[in-house]
Amino acid sequence: MGKVVVVTSGKGGVGKTTSTAALGGVLAQTGKKVVLIDFDVGLRNLDLVMGAERRVVFDLVNVTQGVAKLSQALIRDKRVESLFLLPASQTRDKDALTEEGVANVIGKLRDKFDYVLCDSPAGIERGAQLAMRFADEAIIVTNPEVSSVRDSDRIIGLLDSKTLKAEQGEDVTKHVLVTRYDTARAARGEMLSIDDVLEILSVPLLGIIPENQGVLRASNVGSPVTLNEPANAAARAYADAARRLQGEDVPMVLPVEKKGLLNRLLGRRVA
Amino acid sequence: MSLLDIFKRRASAPVARERLQVLLAYERNNRDQPDLVAVLREEIMAVIAKHVQVNQDDVRITMDRGKTTSTLEIDINIPNAGAAASTAL
């Protein structure tokens, strides 16, 4: 039985899709069978970030409505063979998804995969609630910025009340993933620190992803940053987060920007 | 910095631009009309279903949209005569 993990945030643009792709990429590369589901019906983007936008034939809505078999809609990644994508529909509206349909799809995927990562749409409406509905665990992607932290707090409230686990009196295991973190600015007091964020949200930390230019380069070319530039600081932070997600005890280090010759030599190795 | 630039891999922004151009050209064309590839897929499947019973699991459909041409690949395992739903072959 695989784990169902929702990647959520409330606020848009904080890095849900980037994080889903990056974590999925590195989990699959370390031998796990992973499927990424895009729940953003009408505004899908995970296909684009994964570089599979030209290969979408069927989508999540087609599968829930019985137009296509699950096996026909899954797109296998061209880089890592144990990585699959189930795209969202681009044309239908969010009401096209039913809870029963989603339950059915997730149930089947849970049997076949080690990890089912659900990329939630922004917001707290139906789409976001369906994405988290059947989750065992949740990754709350948060930027060290006031509106993001506030929205994360609301999402935590939903995770504790609107998920199937919550309704059954159990807990969805929650993790905070801080993205776009700038250690120097936090040190200067210009940015909320990790401690600030954790104190406010009181949810354990899964990882700290530094603000990093490699993230945009990876999405430009349609590849998870963990596969595109594995040695890059953000990619390594995602790899550590993926290990923690699997229960490993990996020490948390604040990402520091390396400068100078050493960095250039290390950076070169990436290409 | 210029020395570093020489060794830098191909800039990623042009790749992003081209991917978006291909994708958006397709999506804009299809916004108000049925998806040609989807129509083809459905009609081809209907024709096949008229003649042979094919299990949906035995159909693999792949697609690759390009700038000027797209490919639609429909790979069907058709049961031979002798299998349950025998047809004149």
User: What does the alpha-carbon distance between residue A7 and residue A141 come to, in Å, rounded to a whole number?
Assistant: 7
Residue A257 has pLDDT above 80, yes or no: no
Q: What is the pLDDT of residues A105-143, one digit of tens each?
A: 999 999 999 999 999 999 999 999 999 999 999 999 999
Helix (H, G, I), strand (E, B) or coil at B20: helix
The stretch A62-76 carries a mean pLDDT of 92
Q: How far is A36 from chain B (nearest CA, A)?
A: 18
Q: What is the pLDDT of residue A269?
A: 47
Residue B88 has pLDDT above 60, yes or no: no
Structural domain contains residue B76: yes
Nearest by CB to B19, which of A55, A57, A222?
A222
Residue B59, domain member (yes or no): yes
Better-predicted residue by pLDDT, A173 or A258: A173
- Among A74, A108, A221, A225, pick the best mutation site for testing chain B contact (most B Cβ within 10 A): A221
Residue B75 lies in a domain: yes
Strand partners, A83: A34
Report if residue B1 sits inside a domain: no
- Residue B8: its chain A contacts at CB < 8 A? 271
Domain ranges, residue B43 = 17-82
Cβ distance of A219 and B16 shorter than 8 Å: yes
Average pLDDT, integer, range A72-100: 90
* Residue B40: inside a domain: yes
Helix (H, G, I), strand (E, B) or coil at B82: coil
Look at residue B87 and tell me whether its pLDDT is greater than 50: no
Interface test with A, best of B2, B6, B10, B12 (most A CBs within 10 A): B12
For residue B43, give the CATH number of its domain: 3.30.1070.10
What is the Cα gyration radius of chain A? 18
Condensed to tens digits (0 to 9), the pLDDT of residues A166-224 reads: 999 999 999 999 999 999 999 999 999 999 999 999 999 999 999 999 999 999 999 99
**More confident position, A15 or B3:** A15
Identify the residue among B2, B5, B8, B19 best suited for mutation to test binding to A, counting A beta carbons within 10 A and taking the highest. B19
Please tell me which residue, A173 or B8, carries the higher pLDDT value: A173
Contacts of residue B34 in chain A, CB cutoff 8 Å? none
Q: What is the pLDDT of residue B71?
A: 86
Q: Nearest CB to A221: which of B12, B64, B66?
A: B12
Q: Indicate which of A44, A49, A53 best probes the interface with B, i.e. most B CBs within 10 Å of its own CB.
A: A53
Interface residues on A facing B, Cβ-Cβ cutoff 8 A? 48, 51, 53-58, 69, 71-72, 90, 216-222, 264, 268, 271
The chain-wide mean pLDDT, for chain A, equals 92
Contact A55 B63 (CB under 8 A): yes
Q: Is residue B53 part of a domain?
A: yes
pTM above 0.80, yes or no: yes
In the predicted model, is pLDDT for residue A258 greater than 60?
Answer: no
Interhelix angle for A16-29 vs A233-245, to 10°? 70
What is the pLDDT averaged over residues B53-65? 83
pLDDT at res. B66: 82
Q: Is residue B66 part of a domain?
A: yes
Looking at the predicted structure, is the pLDDT value of residue B7 above 60?
no
Number of structural domains (chain B) is 1
Task: Give the nearest partner residue to A71 out of B15, B16, B57, using CB atoms.
Answer: B57
Q: Which residue has the higher pLDDT, A228 or A261?
A: A228
- Count interface pairs A-B at CB distance under 8 A: 50
> Would residue B2 count as lying in a domain?
no
Of A69, A90, A271, the CB nearest to B9: A271
Determine which of A146-150, A264-268, B33-37, B59-63 has the lowest per-residue pLDDT on average: A264-268
